[in-house]
Chains A and B, each alone.
Chain A
Amino acid sequence: MQEHISNKIDAKLLDKIIAVAYSDAGLYDRLVVWMKARREPEIKKMLDEYKLTASSVHSLDEKKLPEANLKSVYHKIGKSENPKTVFPFIYSSIHPFFFSKPLVSSAAIGVIIITIVSVLLFYNPKPEHKYTKAEIELAQQQLGESLAIVNKVFQNTEKTLDADVISKHVSKHLNKGLIYLNDYLIGG
């Protein structure tokens, strides 16, 4: 490969060109190669050649195993051929998606964990009470009775204040004090 490497393309750049052609390079390397390929036709040509090979390699068909081989294996192990069972169907639907791709499985696990934590932290269901008409009437009645009792207590308190406290303990002493003051002022 040495004959390919000119003054403009050193070994490191060649490695980058190959990586870019095979879609295996990071963003930075891609940018570097792209910029250099724009400026240098030699680099562009080499990149195109590698890209062509890479695309041809990636598009190579997979050869299928002849069915006779499969039957022979099933015969050898003494097992009946039964490729369409429930388990493989479920497994083949789930497994490739969740287990063969680490990024997808990690994302799925992340979403599940975040959902559970969010539900535990923030979900606070408010109890919804639905009262019957009878219960509402009973509550209103009890409220009325309670207010009547409170009203009665206030009335009794007012009466007690008027009859006992103010007249006996306040007015009496106040009158007495005023009489003393009056006597003193008149000069008795």
Chain B
Amino acid sequence: MLQSSKFDYLIEQHKNKIFNYSLYMVHNNMDAEDITQEVMIRIWQNINKFNFLAARAWIMRTTHNLCIDYLRHNKNQYQRELSIDDNLSERIEDKRNAVMPDDALDQSMLDKNIKRAVENLQERLKSPFVLYELQGFKYKEISKILDVPLNTVKVNILRARKQLQKDLKIYARAYLK
């Protein structure tokens, strides 16, 4: 009964976080759903093994590890996607000129492009950035989840912010005009 309730609660609280993190990591709905399901099954299998109060970190660590496994297995495909996205800034500029009128840059368009820009960050920058900025984890928790020193987490989040700004520079300037 307690085991079942704990599981229900954890799933209810974390299912979307797991799914979104996976989505940012693997760029693919179906794969993200598969990873989310796998994480949920592992939660059930280990429900009595991890500290319930630290479940959040345990769940995200498991999610992160599964995403990394997935990316390794699909390395070729992933590298192909990355090489395409090396030209992200140019693609954003092209899209802006083609789709949006000069004086009517849409916030939703900006959001969409930010999402894409986040997805296209390098994995070592993206993981801490998504966990910190989008999922509300603290530096210490991220350090535990990713198993990297605290300072590395801070530096990578800063680099991710700079990289994101670089990719979105064109949009930001246009929006401010």
Chain A residue numbers with a CB within 8 Å of B114 are 53, 56-57, 60
Interface string of B122-159 (1 = CB under 8 A from A): 00000000000110000000000000000000000010
Contact B165 A49 (CB under 8 A): yes
Contact B111 A60 (CB under 8 A): yes
Contact B133 A22 (CB under 8 A): yes
Contact B7 A63 (CB under 8 A): no
A59 to B133, CA, bound (A): 10
Contact A53 B134 (CB under 8 A): no
Chain B residue numbers with a CB within 8 Å of A144 are none
A173 to B144, CA, bound (A): 107
Chain B residue numbers with a CB within 8 Å of A110 are none
Known A-B contacts A49-B172, A56-B114, A88-B9; the reply to A77 vs B41 at CB < 8 A is yes
Contacting A at CB under 8 A, from B1-56, are 1-2, 4-9, 11-13, 15-20, 23, 33, 36-37, 40-41, 44, 53, 56
A59 to B56, CA, bound (A): 22
A57 to B135, CA, bound (A): 11
B59 in the interface, Cβ–Cβ < 8 Å? no
Closest chain A residue, CB of each to CB of B166: A1
Contacting B at CB under 8 A, from A81-113, are 82-83, 85-88, 91-92, 99-100
Chain B residue numbers with a CB within 8 Å of A60 are 111, 114-115, 118, 134
B162 in the interface, Cβ–Cβ < 8 Å? yes
Contact A49 B9 (CB under 8 A): no
A88 to B10, CA, bound (A): 9
Contact A87 B161 (CB under 8 A): no
> 9 closest A-B pairs (Cβ-Cβ)?
A88-B9, A87-B5, A65-B19, A49-B172, A73-B40, A85-B5, A83-B8, A1-B162, A77-B44
A-B contact pairs, 12 of them (CB 8 A): A1-B165, A48-B176, A50-B161, A53-B114, A53-B164, A57-B164, A65-B18, A65-B19, A73-B41, A85-B5, A85-B8, A88-B8
B residues near A (Cβ < 8 Å) are 1-2, 4-9, 11-13, 15-20, 23, 33, 36-37, 40-41, 44, 53, 56, 107, 110-111, 114-115, 118, 133-134, 158, 161-166, 168-169, 172-173, 175-176
Seed contacts A73-B41, A87-B2; 19 additional CB < 8 Å A-B pairs: A1-B162, A48-B176, A50-B161, A50-B165, A59-B111, A60-B118, A60-B134, A62-B134, A63-B23, A64-B16, A65-B16, A70-B15, A70-B40, A73-B11, A77-B41, A87-B6, A88-B5, A92-B9, A99-B53
